[in-house]
Amino acid sequence: MTKLSVNINKIATLRNSRGGDVPNLLKVAADIEHFGGQGITIHPRPDERHIKYQDARDLVAVVKTEFNIEGNPIKSFIDLVLETKPTQVTLVPDSIHAITSNAGWDTVKHQSFLKEVIQEFKQNGIRTSIFIDTDFKLIEAAAETGADRIELYTEEFASQFHLGNKEAIKPYTEAAVLANKLGLGINAGHDLNLENINFFKQNIPNLAEVSIGHALIAESLYLGLENVINMYLHRLK
């Protein structure tokens, strides 16, 4: 079964909008696990506009499943990851002012940098994943960095699936087949939702984990958080 890691950035956004502690991020993380979620994902950004660096530190004592921290490996982010030692770190090349992640790594251009960062994380017992597009050359270069996994950037699939174009899954299937051959684990995330997740899961061989936040929280406004988590788990079986 593919694991469901729930991104709780949007919970932090809602909390920060009033400047208090409602909803309580730590309680929501614990509840998500109680409801069946198999991981918690956060993506702290330098301006801390949603997840704060202290949230990462506080979550260490709360998360009992898998803890995944995403972000651009600038010095402050690297220091945070080495301090908190999550289960997994997902490297994402987003700019400081990006609203959301909008591209995968150029693993050819940034090969030496990624190797250095990944080596440091792995020496500290942290599983590493690279956010990446479906280009074969980039996936081959990702394998050379020493990363444990890749996370397929699924925005294009999601937008095309919404338009009725199921053929958009092909590059992702082919990328997954290649990644499997290269010994890379496969994660996925970005715009996956209750409508497309089962189709995606069925077409991606050995899909280890999906990270879902925005859609899951939005769907929960209508259907309830516990119910939505179990709907995802059912589709991921």
Q: What would the pLDDT profile of 38-53 be if each residue is shown by its tens digit?
A: 999 999 998 999 999 9
Provide the CATH topology of domain 3-236. TIM Barrel (3.20.20)
pTM of the model: 0.95
In this predicted structure, the answer to whether residue 8 has a pLDDT above a threshold of 70 is: yes
Q: What is the mean pLDDT of residues 126-153?
A: 98
In this predicted structure, the answer to whether residue 95 has a pLDDT above a threshold of 90 is: no
Q: Which of 33, 50, 66, 70 is catalytic?
A: 70
In this predicted structure, the answer to whether residue 98 has a pLDDT above a threshold of 60 is: no
pLDDT, the chain, mean: 96
Active site residue 156: no
**How would residue 210 be classed by pLDDT, with cut points 50, 70 and 90?**
very high
In this predicted structure, the answer to whether residue 96 has a pLDDT above a threshold of 70 is: no
Q: Which of 66, 151, 190, 209 is catalytic?
A: 190
Residue type, 137: K
pLDDT computed for residue 196 by the predictor:
98
Q: What is the mean pLDDT of residues 22-35?
A: 98
In this predicted structure, the answer to whether residue 129 has a pLDDT above a threshold of 90 is: yes
Q: What would the pLDDT profile of 51-89 be if each residue is shown by its tens digit?
A: 999 999 999 999 999 999 999 999 999 999 999 999 999
Tokens of 79: 């220091």
Q: Which of 43, 66, 151, 219 is catalytic?
A: 43
Active site residue 43: yes
Q: What is the mean pLDDT of residues 130-134?
A: 97
Query: Per mean pLDDT, which range of 30-39, 86-95, 147-156, 193-202 is the poorest?
Result: 86-95
pLDDT computed for residue 103 by the predictor:
74
Q: What would the pLDDT profile of 177-193 be if each residue is shown by its tens digit?
A: 999 999 999 999 999 99
Cα–Cα distance, 100 to 181 (Å, whole number): 30
In this predicted structure, the answer to whether residue 102 has a pLDDT above a threshold of 90 is: no
Active site residue 110: no
Q: What is the mean pLDDT of residues 82-107?
A: 83
